[in-house]
């Protein structure tokens, strides 16, 4: 086992089969909020490369980065999805994500140099 890797597959395996309510907030490069979404479903796979959920209702797959610390035990109770008003009762886990758009690259010549695209 790689001692340098912080990923704990045993702990990840414990999350498989649990239900998760996930909130994602998207921000533009200027810091303004672009969108908020919530999804709910069952974690069907969790390894060092990806988390895969099967969404309730439509059965579609939804993926997230494999960050164990992003999932916390949910308090028992009712949680209302803001977008639909649907009430989720007693999910196993909660997870909140913030996604920020990258800053626009103001000098494209630097990118060419870094990528080996210079014609010198």
- Better-scored residue on pLDDT, 97 or 82: 97
Q: Residue 88: which H helix or E strand, with range? A: strand 87-89
* Distance separating alpha carbons of residues 87 and 42, to the nearest angstrom: 16
The closest of 73, 57, 90, 87 to 15, measured between CA atoms, is 73
DSSP 8-state class, residue 56: T
**Averaged pLDDT for residues 85-90:** 94
Give the tens place of pLDDT for each residue, 21-61.
Answer: 999 999 999 999 999 999 999 999 999 999 999 999 899 99
Which pair of tokens denotes residue 85?
Answer: 């008003």
Phi first, then psi, for residue 109 (nearest 5°) are -65, -35
* Distance separating alpha carbons of residues 16 and 99, to the nearest angstrom: 24
pLDDT of residue 113: 42
Give the tens place of pLDDT for each residue, 60-80.
Answer: 999 999 999 999 999 999 999
Residue carrying the six token digits 């490369």? 49
* Distance separating alpha carbons of residues 10 and 51, to the nearest angstrom: 14
pTM of the model: 0.79
pLDDT of residue 107: 52
Mean of the per-residue pLDDT values for the chain?
86
- Inter-residue contact 84 to 25 (CB < 8 Å): no
pLDDT bracket for residue 116 (50, 70, 90): very low
């Amino acid at each position: 086992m790689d001692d340098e890797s912080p990923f704990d597959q045993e702990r990840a395996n414990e999350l498989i089969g649990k239900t998760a309510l996930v909130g994602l907030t998207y921000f533009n490069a200027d810091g303004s909020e672009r969108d908020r979404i919530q999804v709910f479903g069952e974690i069907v796979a969790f390894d060092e490369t990806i988390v895969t959920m099967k969404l309730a209702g439509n059965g579609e797959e939804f993926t997230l980065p494999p960050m164990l610390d992003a999932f916390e035990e949910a308090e028992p109770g009712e949680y209302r999805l803001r977008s639909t008003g649907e009430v989720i009762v007693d999910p196993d886990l909660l997870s909140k994500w913030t996604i920020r758009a990258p800053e626009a690259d103001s000098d494209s010549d630097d990118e060419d140099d870094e990528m080996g695209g210079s014609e010198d």
